[in-house]
A and B are shown apart, each in its own frame.
Chain A
Amino acid sequence: MSELILDNIDNNYVSVIPAAEHSTAAVEESHEHLKYTVETENLAVSFFGREAISDINIKYRSNTITAIIGPSGCGKSTFLRALNFMHDLTPGAIVSGTIKIHGKDISEYDMTDVRRRVGMVFQKPNPFPTMSIYENVVAGLTLHKRHKKSHLDETVEKSLMLAGLWEETKDRLKVSAMALSGGQQQRLCIARTLAINPEIILFDEPTSALDPMSTAKIEETLHILKKDYTIVIVTHNMQQASRVSDYTSFFFLGKLIEHSKTRTIFTSPKQKLTEEYVIGKFG
């Protein structure tokens, strides 16, 4: 039976895996010396007393991309949002356990400081509608204090460059952000996050509302960002997980079932559940 399943995997992912194989192989070696940027111990989140995720023990290395996969409602987003205090905004949400960022407990940081270190890009592009492209990119900076115009200009150019939006928008930075297409808006949101110079960027299904072209562009951006940031991406799309990530965590019913190198997860997962999900038996 398991032989058969493995055969299936090979057939299904034959076009995807070879590309990922090179990158993960290289990553494995180069990452050994890197320290962990994010660590969680016994992390649990409950809403109004009902546990959504529990016993999450995971470690993320810097300069890697980790994909979080799992069926709807398995707690992927809940986990992601715990990492930058986003549950503070949800009524009835209680987060317990330990989260460490750079080895330091998250509760020792100032809350706003955590959110600045841990940037987040959401499922639906959410630029500020009353602001121009320029204003959107620097929104995170101008919120806190005044900055020199030269500094802002520089940040806008750098962030938009990194997010792959500079060429399309450099002539119309004063135009409203709403004039951009959905994919461009999402890249603008990425640029906005980059502008505050975080160390970790969380992506909550960043491409699920976008067309394939925009998706490809954002995946390209992810690869570039990996050089400087730790990236965690929640995705419904398993091809995307295998394309972009070095590591993959599989969540099911609020538990972390398996966390391993992406290639391992997709070719020879240790857990039967992972295997079944990856080949599309459920989910």
Chain B
Amino acid sequence: MYYLLIFENTFTIIETEKKIIRSSKKFSDIVFENLTLLFAITIIVIVVFICFEMFKDSAISREKFGFGFITSEKWDSVKSDYGALTFVYGTVVSSIIALLIALPISIGVAVFLTELANSITKTTVSFLIEILAAIPSIIYGFWGIFVLAPFMRTSVQPALQSTLGFIPLFQGATAGFGLLTAGIILAIMITPIITSITRDVLKAIPVSQREAAYALGSTKWEAIKMALLNAKSGILGATILGLGRAVGETMAVTMVIGNKAQIKESLFEPAYSMASVIANEFAEASGGLHVSALIEVGLILFGVTFIINSLARILIYSFTRKAQAR
């Protein structure tokens, strides 16, 4: 026990003796505790190890290009000049498109499932959503190549161009393969995650909250609005999980994004993502610098994911803190 004594501007901490009472532990408990501790430590070790390896193996690239690696648009394996900006751009923009499309749809579906659907529709739709989540990404990629991309080229992109063509985002050649198509594929892929988590969050709101809203004379829509407000931190968490998947998604994106290292205003233009470039070039990387540069791209991808998750944590924390004691 500590006593804090304050004598005019100076203070001293005096420790006094205190007998601490502890319960005696069973041997099996000790084993169990240490075993779980070991598993917990494994997680930390894995993360640190991956980080360390990528950092070490990207040494050549880091020494050669320094911080300029992140800001350079060039990616030229002939001249051995590498920069990751185009890939960061491709990853971030396609993920944002995916989120903008998937979030409203997911919330809509979740609200329908929890508040409006009858039990037969509820079961059917829930089941189909889980199926959607279980489809391998290569299948999405195939579908993207043979169905979505041609459809984008012949219908969606011309339509967007004729209506919203005054915005630079929707100008230029309508190739089918590009950022927008990748964003839409990603949106379809992350909708199941966001939907099912949002549904669970909404389901977890106690009936008493719903009754409170109705008893105040709210309409169904107003009560749902109230429930969504209640669940905002959970929905944010769901969104971040979806975003995490979108950022890291490799196969489906590689198949539809166009794989061209460039930054163009138009969303119709082909682009390249971090995960895609690693997947495409790693096998035939020429020389140590190329491999090293690819590993550094991986390191940046890791960093982006880390930043997204941290931001989400902070946001959720501030929400819940506000809710508990402002």
A: which residues have CB within 8 A of B?
84, 86, 88-89, 112-116, 119-120, 122, 124, 126-132, 139-140, 143-144, 174-176, 178-179, 189, 192-193, 196
Q: Contact at B211–A176, with CB atoms within 8 Å?
A: no
B interface: dominant SS: helix
In the complex, residue of chain B having the shortest beta-carbon distance to the beta carbon of A202: B215
**Known contacts A84-B215, A140-B216, A174-B326; is A89 also within 8 Å of B209 by CB?**
no
5 pairs of residues in contact across A and B, judged by CB atoms under 8 Å: A122-B208, A128-B212, A128-B226, A129-B323, A175-B326
Q: Contact at B214–A128, with CB atoms within 8 Å?
A: no
Q: Contact at A176–B216, with CB atoms within 8 Å?
A: no
Q: Contact at A115–B226, with CB atoms within 8 Å?
A: no
**Known contacts A129-B323, A176-B325; is A86 also within 8 Å of B215 by CB?**
yes
A-contacting 9-mer, from B3-11, B217-225, B240-248, B260-268: B217-225
Q: Which residues of A contact B229 (CB under 8 A)?
A: 128, 130-131
Task: Indicate the size class of the contact surface on chain B.
Answer: 20 to 34
**Known contacts A128-B226, A175-B326; is A120 also within 8 Å of B217 by CB?**
no
B: which residues have CB within 8 A of A?
206-219, 222, 225-226, 229-230, 232, 319, 322-326
11 more CB-based (< 8 A) A-B contacts, given A89-B207, A175-B326, A176-B325: A112-B218, A112-B219, A126-B209, A130-B229, A140-B216, A144-B218, A176-B323, A176-B324, A178-B323, A179-B326, A193-B215
**Known contacts A86-B211, A89-B210, A144-B222; is A193 also within 8 Å of B216 by CB?**
yes
Q: Contact at B226–A179, with CB atoms within 8 Å?
A: no
Contact of B230 among A114, A116, A129 (CB under 8 A): A129
Q: Contact at B208–A143, with CB atoms within 8 Å?
A: no
Q: How far is it, in angstroms, between the C-alpha of A192 and the C-alpha of B213 when the chains are bound?
A: 11
Q: Contact at A140–B217, with CB atoms within 8 Å?
A: yes
In the complex, residue of chain B having the shortest beta-carbon distance to the beta carbon of A130: B323
Q: How far is it, in angstroms, between the C-alpha of A130 and the C-alpha of B225 when the chains are bound?
A: 13
Q: How far is it, in angstroms, between the C-alpha of A60 and the C-alpha of B216 when the chains are bound?
A: 22
Q: Contact at B326–A176, with CB atoms within 8 Å?
A: yes
Q: Which residues of A contact B222 (CB under 8 A)?
A: 143-144
Q: Contact at B216–A139, with CB atoms within 8 Å?
A: yes
Q: Contact at B232–A130, with CB atoms within 8 Å?
A: yes
Q: How far is it, in angstroms, between the C-alpha of A126 and the C-alpha of B214 when the chains are bound?
A: 12
Q: Contact at A196–B323, with CB atoms within 8 Å?
A: no
Q: How far is it, in angstroms, between the C-alpha of A177 and the C-alpha of B83 when the chains are bound?
A: 52
- What is the distance, in angstroms, from A63's C-beta to the closest C-beta of chain B? 22
Q: Contact at A116–B216, with CB atoms within 8 Å?
A: yes
- What is the distance, in angstroms, from A123's C-beta to the closest C-beta of chain B? 9
Q: Which residues of A contact B209 (CB under 8 A)?
A: 126, 128-129
**Known contacts A122-B212, A129-B230, A189-B212; is A176 also within 8 Å of B322 by CB?**
yes
Q: How far is it, in angstroms, between the C-alpha of A247 and the C-alpha of B122 when the chains are bound?
A: 46
In the complex, residue of chain A having the shortest beta-carbon distance to the beta carbon of B229: A130
